[in-house]
Structure formats: C-alpha cells, structure tokens
Amino acid sequence: MTFIEKLTNSMRKNGSLLCVGLDPDQEKMPGNISVAEFNRAIIEATSDLACAYKLNFAFYEALGDDGMSILKQTRNFIPDNIPVIGDAKRGDIGNTARAYARAIFNHFDFDAATVSPYLGYDSIEPFLQYQERGVLILCRTSNASAVDFQALTTESGDNERLPLFAVVARRAGEWNAHGNIGLVVGATYPDELKAIREQHPDMPLLIPGIGTQGGDLALTVRYGVDRHGEKAIINSSRQILYASKGKDFAEAARQAAAELKERINRHIKETIS
C-alpha cells in the first residue's frame, strides 16, 4: 500500500485530517515519566482521532544516545493502519541522500519523510525511488523568516518571474512521476496555500502552523483540502501534547485532539457544502 493510499484510508476511517506531532520536550512533560512512556500514552489516547503522526527527528536527536532507540520505539507504538511521517527535513546529495532515505524508510520504516529542495533534484531523487513512500518537500514553510528566501522573485526556465516557493511547487509537479510527492505549506500563509492547492488539486499537503504560530484554521481548511475535503494533513503538536502537565496529560491530550478534529470537520463541511 502506498503512502497516499494509507493516508486516504486513515482519513476516512477516523474521519479526520488531524496529524499529531510527537515532538517530546522534557521541560514541558509531566515529571516522572520517560519520553517513550509519554509518547505511548499520547498515541493510545489519540489513535482513533488522527489521520497521521509526525515525528520530528530533532527532539529525539537531542536526547543523545537513547534518542534513536526512542524514535524507533515510538514509531512502533503507532497502529499499522495510520501513516507515520519522519520529519527529518533532509537535504543532501549522492551517497548521503541515499543513506538518509535508507535510514528513514528501511531502518525506521516511516511511511513518508520531509525533505529540503535547496540542493535541487539530486537531493530529492533518492527518496523518490521508494515509490510506496511519501516525499514531502518543504515549499512554503510556516516560520516568519521563510520570506528571507522563499518569497524572493526568481526567473523560471520559461522566463516567467515567480517567487521561489512557487518554483518549488512547479518542480514538485514535474518530479512527481511516481505520484508520491507532497508539499509542506504553512497555515500562516493562506494566500500561498490557496495558490498551491489550485496548482496541485490532488497532491497531499502537510500543513503546520495552526497552533502557537497563529495560522487561521478556517482558511487552512478552506484553501488546503482537495475537492473531496481530503489531502490536507493538518499538524498540531504542542497544543495537544502539552494540554496538561498533570497526571491527566493523556486525557487532556485526547480532549484537545478531539476538539481540534471537530473544528476541522466543521470547516470541511462549510467548505465542500
């Protein structure tokens, strides 16, 4: 089963576009619980509410020697029917890119990976060879300083002047021979999200930025979903993980996830009705 098929099945089974980001920050977690135990409790509390999970490699690398073991444990806690995104933002060429792809897809068995296009097609192609796995290319990221580069106007091969993120979106379509590419587009830039969805009506979009970064959920849904009200992977991390620092953290996470899922679904109905 391909990443796209698994994602679609999960969205429909759970009636959800919510992606839960598992980014463990020990300073915000309840005391006297390990990262693995915390992640497992969050997964068990939310697995019927999520369409996907996203694990940000940085939070596991920061744990030192045990981090990669905890990353693999966490990935294995997630039910087989729910796709898991390895948010590693890899970007290199040649043997290094092939090694990154092999680690994420073979060793850790992630269904999809985030990658940076800055080095060009050479950095993306090794991931695309895994035709059943998703390759989510950073396009219009949610951070404020994304404008430093992504908004710069550049001349495309057709002598057309476009912002850099639009060139990335266009190239993604050209590279998508296996149908396994998606784009990362921040909720904090709704106009760009709308334009990218219009350009790629059937491509999955991973959309961060609706929580702490202040993205508008209604606009995210309106501009991010496809014509069926799907294909938008709306990520939330801190809003769910740290809904409580008490012993009730898992129950609080479930409540936060359920409320966010319901809000998303209300906006979907408004969008496609």
Residue with tokens 């998703």: 134
Question: What single DSSP character describes residue 132?
Answer: T
Which region holds residue 91: left if phi is over 0, alpha if psi is between -120 and 50, else beta?
beta
**153-155 and 161-163 strand pairing:** antiparallel
Active site residue 28: no
Q: How far apart are CA 123 and CA 112, in angstroms?
A: 15
Provide the terminal-to-terminal Cα distance of the chain, rounded to the nearest Å: 31
Question: What single DSSP character describes residue 20?
Answer: E
What six digits make up the tokens of 217? 């959920």
Q: Which of 54, 89, 247, 269 is catalytic?
A: 89
Q: Are 202 and 231 in contact (CB under 8 A)?
A: yes
What six digits make up the tokens of 187? 């909720």
Residues with active-site annotation: 89
